[in-house]
Structure 1
Amino acid sequence: MQLPTPEDLKKRRNELGLTQSDLAKRAGVSQPLIARIESGDVDPRLSTVRKILDAFEEAEKEQQIIIKDLMHSPVFHVSPEDSVEEVVNLMHIHGFSQIPVLDGGIPVGSISEDMIVKLMGESKKKSISQLKVSGIMGEAFPTVSPGISISVVSHILEGNPAVLVVEKGAVVGVVTKHDVMKLLQGK
């Protein structure tokens, strides 16, 4: 087995779009060690090279997973004119904690359990169940195309509870943080 050169390691890291910090985290080593290995300042142990190569393989597998293979379809949604009661019932039936709001098939907002609970705490009215979704909805979930990689969507999900998959102007699927977490279980 021929060991990769420092230039080989750096080239492969760049091809995978990983920073030295990303690679270090995945390989369980420090970022300065990655920098020293790539610059040729240090000859790494064979076990360290193995960790780096394993991290590369893991990154390649992630990039091969596209959202179309992970998304849920059809997308359960509500409209801006639906009542909070209808939203709560839909969430309860399907076990959702958030749901997109579509108007004529176009994402216009989102609504979550947290929003509803907060509204209940703030509301002076006894019942908020007949309020319209349009009056309490939050921002729409971000959208991506079906061919985008899981690594890109993972970054988007860091700041959003879900991502909608849109193809030819139509919402065709949804991916949540929970879906990405299931990949770790191999399911």
Structure 2
Amino acid sequence: MFLPTPDDIKKLRLELNLTQHLLASRAGVSQPLIARIESGDVDPRLSTLHKIFNVFDEARKEKIDVRKIMHPSVIHTSSDRSVEEAARIMEEHSFSQMPVIDNGVPVGSISSDQIVRSMTDHDLRKVSHLFVRNIMGDSFPTISPTTDANTVSRILEKNPAVLVLEMGKVIGVVTKHDIMKMLRA
């Protein structure tokens, strides 16, 4: 059984860029207690060690860059494609929505809801020949590849996907499913 030494605890705290004050606050203990544990002045209770290591686990998750969980191949359509083509791509991949990307730059999104809505507004034959640009909605939010997973999780609470941009071009996508897979890591 591994029991951490005071040096182990301090080393982990520093690797995770946590101050004694922040570690103490998140663990629900006092900062002087953290200082005394790290200096070896006091042997912490098992419950206190458990709280400290829970904070370390959470801090590790915060530090996961989106680059490690994103899908580098982004299935998308372009604004000059027909709605029929977009619907075929979505059906083929079992997607309910997908990004609209022109020359590597996100310009919008299209969803099955938008397609169905356009079918009630237009003649069915005309809908299949409409361009995606005629019915697309707003683009998915964008982030950099170094954005942490916690930030992405917050964005995904209100959006179906997040596009990862580098130098103005889409290099990946992250969905709610990708974040949920982190539970098994």
Same-fold call, TM cutoff 0.5: yes
Higher-Rg structure is 2
1-structure distance, mates of 2:165, 2:117: 30
Shift of 1:114: 2.4
Match of 2:39 in 1: none
Specify the SS of the correspondent of 1:139: coil
**Counterparts of residues 103-114 of structure 1 (less than 5 Å):** 103-114=102-113
What amino acid is the match of 1:59? E
Shift of 1:181: 1.1
User: Where do 1:9-20 residues align within 5 Å?
Assistant: 10-12=21-23
Q: In structure 1, how many angstroms separate the alpha carbons of the residues matched to 2:118 and 2:63? A: 41
Q: Structure 1 residues 144 and 50, CA, compared in 2 at 3 Å: closer, same or farther?
A: same
CA gap 1:125/1:13 in 2 versus in 1, 3 angstroms: farther
State the shift of 1:185 in Å: 3.0
Q: Tell which deviates more after alignment, 137-146 or 56-65.
A: 56-65
Distance 1:71 1:13, change over 3 A: farther
Per the alignment, residue 171 of structure 2 pairs with: 172
Give the equivalent residue in structure 1 for 2:93: 94
Determine the C-alpha separation between the residues in 1 that align with 2:24 and 2:88.
48
Alpha-carbon deviation of 1:158?
1.4
- The 3-state SS of whatever aligns with 2:76 is coil
CA-CA distance at 1:161 after TM superposition: 0.9
Structure 2 counterpart of 1:125: 123
- Report the TM-score when normalising by structure 2: 0.72
* Runs ≥4 residues deviating over 6 A: none
Give identity over the alignment, percent: 41
Given that 1:13 and 1:56 are in contact with CA atoms closer than 8 Å, whether structure 2 keeps it comes out as: no
Count of paired positions: 158
TM-score of the two chains, using structure 1 as the length reference: 0.72
- C-alpha displacement of 1:99: 0.9
Deviation at 1:10, TM superposition (A): 4.1
| CA positional deviation for 1:71 | 0.8
In the TM superposition, residue 57 of structure 1 has moved relative to its aligned partner by 2.3
2: CA distance between counterparts of 1:75 and 1:52?
39
* 2:124 partner amino acid: K
Q: CA–CA distance in 2 between the matches of 1:149 and 1:115?
A: 31
- Given residue 97 of structure 1, which amino acid in structure 2 is its aligned partner? S
2:68 is aligned to 69
